Amino acid sequence: MIPIAGQTDIDSIDIQALYPPKAEFELLKTEFRESILKLVPGLAPDVDDLLRRISSPNWVLEWGLPRWLGETFQLTEDTIYHLTLANVYLLGFVRLMDDIVDDDFGESGTKIEWLSSNEGRKSVSAGQHNQQILLGTLLEHLWLQQNSKLLASSDRINKADRLLSVFWESSLSALSEWIIATSDQERRPVHGFSDFSDEDFLRMGHRFSLLKVGCVTACQLAGREKEIPYLTKAIDQILTGVVLADEVFDWEGDLENGRYNVFIAYCSDIDQRADGKDANELAVLEGIYLGQKAHAFFDLVLDYLSLAEQTAGPVSCVKFNQYIRCMQLDMRVNQANLDEEILGRMKEASKRFVDKGIDAWR
Protein backbone atom coordinates (compact mmCIF):
# COMPACT_ATOMS: atom_id res chain seq x y z
CA MET A 1 0.00 0.00 0.00
CA ILE A 2 1.10 3.58 -0.54
CA PRO A 3 1.74 5.99 2.33
CA ILE A 4 -0.65 8.82 3.08
CA ALA A 5 1.18 11.67 1.42
CA GLY A 6 0.35 15.36 1.35
CA GLN A 7 -0.42 15.48 5.07
CA THR A 8 0.11 19.23 5.18
CA ASP A 9 -2.77 19.60 2.73
CA ILE A 10 -5.25 17.99 5.13
CA ASP A 11 -6.46 21.00 7.08
CA SER A 12 -9.68 19.68 8.57
CA ILE A 13 -8.46 16.20 9.58
CA ASP A 14 -5.55 15.41 11.91
CA ILE A 15 -4.14 12.21 10.46
CA GLN A 16 -2.31 11.42 13.72
CA ALA A 17 -5.66 11.33 15.51
CA LEU A 18 -6.57 8.29 13.41
CA TYR A 19 -3.75 6.21 14.96
CA PRO A 20 -4.05 4.56 18.38
CA PRO A 21 -2.84 6.80 21.25
CA LYS A 22 0.98 6.87 21.41
CA ALA A 23 1.25 4.96 24.70
CA GLU A 24 -1.07 2.26 23.38
CA PHE A 25 0.85 2.16 20.09
CA GLU A 26 4.10 1.41 21.95
CA LEU A 27 2.43 -1.12 24.23
CA LEU A 28 1.01 -2.97 21.22
CA LYS A 29 4.44 -3.17 19.60
CA THR A 30 5.93 -4.51 22.83
CA GLU A 31 3.27 -7.20 23.23
CA PHE A 32 3.55 -8.11 19.53
CA ARG A 33 7.27 -8.72 19.97
CA GLU A 34 7.12 -10.49 23.32
CA SER A 35 4.26 -12.82 22.36
CA ILE A 36 6.27 -14.13 19.40
CA LEU A 37 9.63 -14.39 21.16
CA LYS A 38 8.01 -16.23 24.07
CA LEU A 39 7.22 -19.00 21.61
CA VAL A 40 10.29 -18.78 19.33
CA PRO A 41 13.13 -16.70 20.87
CA GLY A 42 15.38 -17.16 17.82
CA LEU A 43 13.13 -15.03 15.63
CA ALA A 44 14.12 -11.76 17.37
CA PRO A 45 15.98 -10.18 14.37
CA ASP A 46 13.13 -11.03 11.98
CA VAL A 47 10.48 -9.73 14.39
CA ASP A 48 12.36 -6.48 14.98
CA ASP A 49 12.77 -5.91 11.24
CA LEU A 50 9.09 -6.64 10.61
CA LEU A 51 8.01 -4.32 13.43
CA ARG A 52 9.99 -1.46 11.90
CA ARG A 53 8.30 -2.04 8.57
CA ILE A 54 4.72 -2.21 9.85
CA SER A 55 5.10 0.76 12.22
CA SER A 56 5.58 3.26 9.38
CA PRO A 57 2.88 5.83 8.42
CA ASN A 58 1.63 3.56 5.61
CA TRP A 59 -0.70 1.52 7.77
CA VAL A 60 -3.27 3.90 9.25
CA LEU A 61 -6.24 1.69 8.36
CA GLU A 62 -4.75 -1.49 9.81
CA TRP A 63 -3.68 0.13 13.11
CA GLY A 64 -6.66 2.45 13.50
CA LEU A 65 -9.75 0.57 12.31
CA PRO A 66 -10.37 -1.48 15.50
CA ARG A 67 -10.40 1.68 17.66
CA TRP A 68 -12.60 3.60 15.21
CA LEU A 69 -15.17 0.79 15.28
CA GLY A 70 -14.72 0.06 18.98
CA GLU A 71 -15.43 3.66 19.97
CA THR A 72 -18.44 3.81 17.62
CA PHE A 73 -19.80 0.52 19.01
CA GLN A 74 -18.94 1.47 22.63
CA LEU A 75 -16.72 -1.56 23.22
CA THR A 76 -14.46 -1.63 26.28
CA GLU A 77 -10.90 -0.30 26.11
CA ASP A 78 -9.54 -3.80 26.77
CA THR A 79 -11.55 -5.20 23.85
CA ILE A 80 -10.40 -2.41 21.54
CA TYR A 81 -6.79 -3.05 22.53
CA HIS A 82 -6.98 -6.75 21.75
CA LEU A 83 -8.84 -6.19 18.50
CA THR A 84 -5.99 -3.88 17.49
CA LEU A 85 -3.37 -6.42 18.55
CA ALA A 86 -5.09 -9.00 16.33
CA ASN A 87 -4.90 -6.56 13.42
CA VAL A 88 -1.18 -5.98 14.01
CA TYR A 89 -0.55 -9.74 13.91
CA LEU A 90 -2.53 -9.79 10.66
CA LEU A 91 -0.62 -6.86 9.19
CA GLY A 92 2.70 -8.60 9.90
CA PHE A 93 1.44 -11.83 8.34
CA VAL A 94 0.16 -10.18 5.16
CA ARG A 95 3.31 -8.09 4.69
CA LEU A 96 5.52 -11.18 4.95
CA MET A 97 3.37 -13.21 2.58
CA ASP A 98 3.21 -10.39 0.02
CA ASP A 99 6.99 -10.09 0.01
CA ILE A 100 7.45 -13.84 -0.30
CA VAL A 101 5.02 -14.04 -3.23
CA ASP A 102 6.52 -11.04 -5.04
CA ASP A 103 10.24 -11.80 -4.61
CA ASP A 104 12.21 -14.18 -6.84
CA PHE A 105 14.98 -16.62 -5.94
CA GLY A 106 18.23 -16.35 -7.86
CA GLU A 107 19.29 -19.15 -10.19
CA SER A 108 21.23 -20.88 -7.43
CA GLY A 109 18.23 -20.85 -5.12
CA THR A 110 20.41 -19.57 -2.29
CA LYS A 111 19.62 -15.87 -2.30
CA ILE A 112 16.55 -13.71 -2.56
CA GLU A 113 16.31 -9.95 -2.99
CA TRP A 114 14.40 -8.52 -0.03
CA LEU A 115 12.94 -5.03 -0.02
CA SER A 116 13.20 -3.31 3.36
CA SER A 117 11.48 0.06 3.70
CA ASN A 118 14.36 1.41 5.79
CA GLU A 119 17.42 -0.24 4.27
CA GLY A 120 16.75 -0.57 0.53
CA ARG A 121 17.42 -3.88 -1.20
CA LYS A 122 19.57 -6.47 0.48
CA SER A 123 20.41 -10.13 0.02
CA VAL A 124 18.63 -12.67 2.20
CA SER A 125 19.67 -16.30 2.41
CA ALA A 126 17.26 -19.09 1.58
CA GLY A 127 17.42 -20.12 5.25
CA GLN A 128 16.32 -16.67 6.36
CA HIS A 129 13.63 -16.74 3.71
CA ASN A 130 12.29 -19.93 5.26
CA GLN A 131 12.27 -18.21 8.65
CA GLN A 132 10.02 -15.52 7.18
CA ILE A 133 7.57 -18.24 6.11
CA LEU A 134 7.64 -19.77 9.58
CA LEU A 135 7.15 -16.36 11.23
CA GLY A 136 4.21 -15.70 8.91
CA THR A 137 2.63 -19.02 9.90
CA LEU A 138 2.98 -18.12 13.59
CA LEU A 139 1.48 -14.67 13.04
CA GLU A 140 -1.53 -16.14 11.24
CA HIS A 141 -2.23 -18.42 14.21
CA LEU A 142 -1.82 -15.55 16.71
CA TRP A 143 -4.22 -13.41 14.67
CA LEU A 144 -6.88 -16.14 14.56
CA GLN A 145 -6.36 -16.99 18.23
CA GLN A 146 -6.76 -13.38 19.31
CA ASN A 147 -10.06 -12.99 17.48
CA SER A 148 -11.47 -16.32 18.63
CA LYS A 149 -10.48 -15.64 22.28
CA LEU A 150 -12.34 -12.33 22.19
CA LEU A 151 -15.48 -14.03 20.90
CA ALA A 152 -15.23 -16.99 23.27
CA SER A 153 -14.95 -14.65 26.29
CA SER A 154 -17.72 -12.31 25.15
CA ASP A 155 -20.44 -11.46 27.67
CA ARG A 156 -22.84 -12.58 24.96
CA ILE A 157 -21.87 -16.05 26.21
CA ASN A 158 -25.20 -17.62 25.32
CA LYS A 159 -24.39 -16.90 21.71
CA ALA A 160 -20.68 -17.75 21.82
CA ASP A 161 -20.98 -20.90 19.71
CA ARG A 162 -22.86 -19.06 16.96
CA LEU A 163 -20.43 -16.14 17.10
CA LEU A 164 -17.46 -18.44 16.69
CA SER A 165 -19.17 -20.27 13.85
CA VAL A 166 -19.75 -17.02 11.97
CA PHE A 167 -16.17 -15.93 12.69
CA TRP A 168 -14.62 -19.10 11.29
CA GLU A 169 -16.87 -18.95 8.25
CA SER A 170 -15.95 -15.32 7.56
CA SER A 171 -12.23 -15.89 8.15
CA LEU A 172 -12.18 -18.88 5.77
CA SER A 173 -14.03 -16.85 3.12
CA ALA A 174 -11.60 -13.93 3.49
CA LEU A 175 -8.61 -16.29 3.41
CA SER A 176 -9.89 -17.79 0.16
CA GLU A 177 -10.32 -14.32 -1.37
CA TRP A 178 -6.82 -13.33 -0.26
CA ILE A 179 -5.16 -16.45 -1.68
CA ILE A 180 -6.89 -16.03 -5.05
CA ALA A 181 -6.03 -12.32 -5.25
CA THR A 182 -2.43 -12.85 -4.16
CA SER A 183 -1.72 -15.72 -6.52
CA ASP A 184 0.20 -14.60 -9.62
CA GLN A 185 -1.83 -16.96 -11.77
CA GLU A 186 -5.13 -15.55 -10.55
CA ARG A 187 -3.87 -11.96 -10.90
CA ARG A 188 -3.73 -12.38 -14.71
CA PRO A 189 -7.28 -11.90 -15.99
CA VAL A 190 -8.30 -13.90 -19.05
CA HIS A 191 -9.64 -10.75 -20.73
CA GLY A 192 -8.42 -7.23 -21.45
CA PHE A 193 -8.92 -4.15 -19.30
CA SER A 194 -11.84 -2.90 -21.40
CA ASP A 195 -13.80 -6.00 -20.37
CA PHE A 196 -13.05 -5.68 -16.64
CA SER A 197 -16.11 -6.05 -14.43
CA ASP A 198 -16.63 -4.68 -10.95
CA GLU A 199 -15.82 -8.19 -9.70
CA ASP A 200 -12.41 -8.05 -11.43
CA PHE A 201 -11.59 -4.74 -9.75
CA LEU A 202 -12.81 -5.83 -6.32
CA ARG A 203 -10.72 -9.00 -6.58
CA MET A 204 -7.66 -6.74 -6.61
CA GLY A 205 -8.74 -5.26 -3.29
CA HIS A 206 -9.00 -8.79 -1.91
CA ARG A 207 -5.21 -8.79 -1.56
CA PHE A 208 -6.04 -7.23 1.83
CA SER A 209 -9.32 -9.11 2.31
CA LEU A 210 -8.31 -10.53 5.69
CA LEU A 211 -8.74 -7.06 7.19
CA LYS A 212 -12.50 -7.66 7.00
CA VAL A 213 -12.31 -10.40 9.62
CA GLY A 214 -11.59 -7.90 12.41
CA CYS A 215 -14.63 -5.89 11.30
CA VAL A 216 -16.79 -8.99 11.63
CA THR A 217 -15.40 -9.67 15.13
CA ALA A 218 -16.04 -6.07 16.27
CA CYS A 219 -19.61 -6.15 14.97
CA GLN A 220 -20.26 -9.50 16.67
CA LEU A 221 -18.88 -8.35 20.01
CA ALA A 222 -21.08 -5.25 19.88
CA GLY A 223 -24.20 -7.07 18.70
CA ARG A 224 -24.08 -5.01 15.51
CA GLU A 225 -24.11 -7.84 12.96
CA LYS A 226 -26.33 -5.76 10.66
CA GLU A 227 -23.35 -3.48 10.04
CA ILE A 228 -21.16 -6.30 8.69
CA PRO A 229 -22.21 -6.09 5.00
CA TYR A 230 -21.68 -2.30 4.91
CA LEU A 231 -18.25 -2.48 6.53
CA THR A 232 -16.90 -5.41 4.55
CA LYS A 233 -18.07 -3.97 1.24
CA ALA A 234 -16.61 -0.54 2.08
CA ILE A 235 -13.29 -2.19 2.99
CA ASP A 236 -13.27 -3.95 -0.38
CA GLN A 237 -13.94 -0.67 -2.18
CA ILE A 238 -11.28 1.28 -0.25
CA LEU A 239 -8.62 -1.35 -0.83
CA THR A 240 -9.55 -1.68 -4.50
CA GLY A 241 -8.88 2.05 -4.88
CA VAL A 242 -5.60 1.82 -2.96
CA VAL A 243 -4.37 -1.20 -4.96
CA LEU A 244 -5.27 0.53 -8.23
CA ALA A 245 -3.22 3.55 -7.16
CA ASP A 246 -0.32 1.27 -6.25
CA GLU A 247 -0.40 -0.14 -9.77
CA VAL A 248 0.38 3.31 -11.21
CA PHE A 249 3.45 3.69 -9.01
CA ASP A 250 4.59 0.07 -9.36
CA TRP A 251 4.18 -0.46 -13.11
CA GLU A 252 7.90 -0.18 -13.96
CA GLY A 253 8.97 -2.63 -11.26
CA ASP A 254 6.16 -5.04 -12.15
CA LEU A 255 7.08 -4.88 -15.83
CA GLU A 256 10.74 -5.53 -15.05
CA ASN A 257 9.94 -8.50 -12.79
CA GLY A 258 7.27 -10.08 -14.99
CA ARG A 259 4.35 -9.37 -12.64
CA TYR A 260 0.92 -8.55 -14.03
CA ASN A 261 -0.03 -4.88 -13.58
CA VAL A 262 -3.50 -3.55 -14.27
CA PHE A 263 -2.28 -0.03 -15.15
CA ILE A 264 -0.15 -1.55 -17.91
CA ALA A 265 -3.27 -3.41 -19.07
CA TYR A 266 -5.16 -0.10 -19.05
CA CYS A 267 -2.54 1.49 -21.32
CA SER A 268 -1.78 -1.52 -23.54
CA ASP A 269 -3.60 -4.48 -25.06
CA ILE A 270 -0.32 -6.37 -25.50
CA ASP A 271 0.04 -9.55 -23.46
CA GLN A 272 2.23 -8.98 -20.40
CA ARG A 273 4.86 -11.58 -21.21
CA ALA A 274 8.61 -11.28 -21.67
CA ASP A 275 8.43 -10.87 -25.45
CA GLY A 276 6.02 -7.92 -25.07
CA LYS A 277 8.01 -6.05 -22.44
CA ASP A 278 9.43 -3.29 -24.68
CA ALA A 279 6.15 -2.72 -26.51
CA ASN A 280 4.24 -2.50 -23.22
CA GLU A 281 6.75 -0.02 -21.80
CA LEU A 282 6.36 2.19 -24.87
CA ALA A 283 2.56 1.96 -24.68
CA VAL A 284 2.52 3.01 -21.02
CA LEU A 285 4.89 5.93 -21.59
CA GLU A 286 2.80 7.11 -24.53
CA GLY A 287 -0.34 6.73 -22.44
CA ILE A 288 1.11 8.76 -19.58
CA TYR A 289 2.79 11.54 -21.53
CA LEU A 290 0.52 11.82 -24.56
CA GLY A 291 -2.82 10.44 -23.47
CA GLN A 292 -3.23 11.61 -19.83
CA LYS A 293 -3.97 8.00 -18.90
CA ALA A 294 -2.49 8.30 -15.41
CA HIS A 295 -4.90 11.16 -14.65
CA ALA A 296 -7.88 9.18 -15.96
CA PHE A 297 -6.79 6.09 -14.02
CA PHE A 298 -6.76 8.09 -10.78
CA ASP A 299 -10.36 9.10 -11.55
CA LEU A 300 -11.17 5.38 -11.32
CA VAL A 301 -9.36 5.23 -7.96
CA LEU A 302 -11.43 8.16 -6.70
CA ASP A 303 -14.63 6.50 -7.93
CA TYR A 304 -13.99 3.50 -5.68
CA LEU A 305 -13.20 5.70 -2.68
CA SER A 306 -16.43 7.64 -3.26
CA LEU A 307 -18.35 4.36 -3.40
CA ALA A 308 -16.73 3.33 -0.11
CA GLU A 309 -17.84 6.55 1.56
CA GLN A 310 -21.42 5.97 0.43
CA THR A 311 -21.36 2.29 1.45
CA ALA A 312 -19.98 3.05 4.93
CA GLY A 313 -22.59 5.74 5.60
CA PRO A 314 -25.08 3.57 7.58
CA VAL A 315 -22.32 2.53 10.04
CA SER A 316 -21.91 6.15 11.19
CA CYS A 317 -18.25 5.65 12.16
CA VAL A 318 -16.81 9.17 12.16
CA LYS A 319 -13.11 8.28 12.05
CA PHE A 320 -13.64 5.64 9.36
CA ASN A 321 -15.31 8.30 7.22
CA GLN A 322 -12.48 10.72 7.99
CA TYR A 323 -9.97 8.12 6.83
CA ILE A 324 -11.80 7.70 3.53
CA ARG A 325 -11.79 11.46 2.99
CA CYS A 326 -8.06 11.55 3.81
CA MET A 327 -7.49 8.93 1.14
CA GLN A 328 -9.58 10.84 -1.39
CA LEU A 329 -7.57 13.99 -0.78
CA ASP A 330 -4.31 12.06 -0.90
CA MET A 331 -5.21 10.54 -4.27
CA ARG A 332 -6.10 13.98 -5.64
CA VAL A 333 -2.71 15.23 -4.46
CA ASN A 334 -1.00 12.31 -6.19
CA GLN A 335 -3.03 12.95 -9.33
CA ALA A 336 -2.11 16.64 -9.35
CA ASN A 337 1.57 15.84 -8.69
CA LEU A 338 1.64 13.45 -11.62
CA ASP A 339 -0.03 16.04 -13.86
CA GLU A 340 2.57 18.61 -12.82
CA GLU A 341 5.46 16.17 -13.38
CA ILE A 342 4.15 15.21 -16.81
CA LEU A 343 3.72 18.87 -17.80
CA GLY A 344 7.25 19.64 -16.62
CA ARG A 345 8.76 16.79 -18.62
CA MET A 346 6.80 17.77 -21.72
CA LYS A 347 8.11 21.34 -21.41
CA GLU A 348 11.68 20.04 -21.02
CA ALA A 349 11.28 17.85 -24.11
CA SER A 350 9.83 20.75 -26.12
CA LYS A 351 12.68 23.02 -25.06
CA ARG A 352 15.28 20.45 -26.11
CA PHE A 353 13.55 20.06 -29.46
CA VAL A 354 13.42 23.82 -30.02
CA ASP A 355 17.07 24.25 -28.92
CA LYS A 356 18.18 21.58 -31.37
CA GLY A 357 16.24 23.31 -34.13
CA ILE A 358 17.88 26.65 -33.34
CA ASP A 359 21.35 25.07 -33.25
CA ALA A 360 20.73 23.40 -36.61
CA TRP A 361 19.51 26.68 -38.15
CA ARG A 362 22.66 28.46 -36.96
Digit-coded pLDDT (tens) for 336-351 = 888 888 777 666 655 5
Read off the pLDDT of each residue in 108-114 and give the average, rounded to a whole number. Answer: 38
What stretch of H or E contains 283?
A: helix 277-289
Tell me what pLDDT residue 160 has. Answer: 62
139 close to 40: Cβ distance less than 8 angstroms: no
Read off the pLDDT of each residue in 227-242 and give the average, rounded to a whole number. Answer: 96
Read off the pLDDT of each residue in 288-302 and give the average, rounded to a whole number. Answer: 89
Whether the pLDDT of residue 305 is over 60: the answer is yes
Cα end-to-end span (Å), the chain: 52
Going by C-alpha positions, the residue among 271, 269, 268 that lies closest to residue 285 is: 268
Residue 37: C-alpha distances to residues 32, 77, 80, 139, 147 (Å): 9, 25, 23, 12, 20
132 close to 100: Cβ distance less than 8 angstroms: yes
Distance CA 177, CA 202 (A): 10
Least-confidence region, from 44-48, 70-74, 130-134, 317-321 = 130-134
Q: How confident is the model at residue 68 (pLDDT cuts 50, 70, 90)?
A: very high
Tell me what pLDDT residue 115 has. Answer: 39
Whether the pLDDT of residue 262 is over 50: the answer is yes
Read off the pLDDT of each residue in 79-99 and give the average, rounded to a whole number. Answer: 94
Tell me what pLDDT residue 105 has. Answer: 33
Share of the chain above pLDDT 90, in %: 55
Whether the pLDDT of residue 153 is over 70: the answer is yes
Tell me what pLDDT residue 184 has. Answer: 59
Identify any residues that bridge with 111 across adjacent strands, giving them in sequence order. 125
Read off the pLDDT of each residue in 280-301 and give the average, rounded to a whole number. Answer: 90
Identify any residues that bridge with 112 across adjacent strands, giving them in sequence order. 105, 124
What stretch of H or E contains 171?
A: helix 160-182
Tell me what pLDDT residue 338 has. Answer: 83
Tell me what pLDDT residue 8 has. Answer: 38
Whether the pLDDT of residue 158 is over 80: the answer is no
Distance CA 258, CA 14 (A): 39
Q: How confident is the model at residue 122 (pLDDT cuts 50, 70, 90)?
A: very low
Buried b vs exposed e over 72-92: b needs ≥16 C-beta within 10 Å? bbebeeebbbbbbbbbbbbbb
Whether the pLDDT of residue 141 is over 80: the answer is yes
Mean pLDDT of the chain: 83
248 against 154, higher pLDDT: 248
Tell me what pLDDT residue 188 has. Answer: 74
Whether the pLDDT of residue 235 is over 70: the answer is yes
Whether the pLDDT of residue 161 is over 80: the answer is no
Tell me what pLDDT residue 69 has. Answer: 97
Global confidence as pTM: 0.83
Tell me what pLDDT residue 131 has. Answer: 83
Amino acid of residue 61: L
Buried b vs exposed e over 111-136: b needs ≥16 C-beta within 10 Å? ebebeeeeeeeeebeeeebebbeebb
pLDDT in tens, 26-42: 999 999 999 999 999 99
Beta strands in 51-126 (DSSP E): 111-116, 120-125
Buried b vs exposed e over 290-300: b needs ≥16 C-beta within 10 Å? eeebbeebbeb
Helix H segments across 4-76?
Answer: 22-39, 44-54, 60-73
Going by C-alpha positions, the residue among 31, 1, 32 that lies closest to residue 139 is: 32
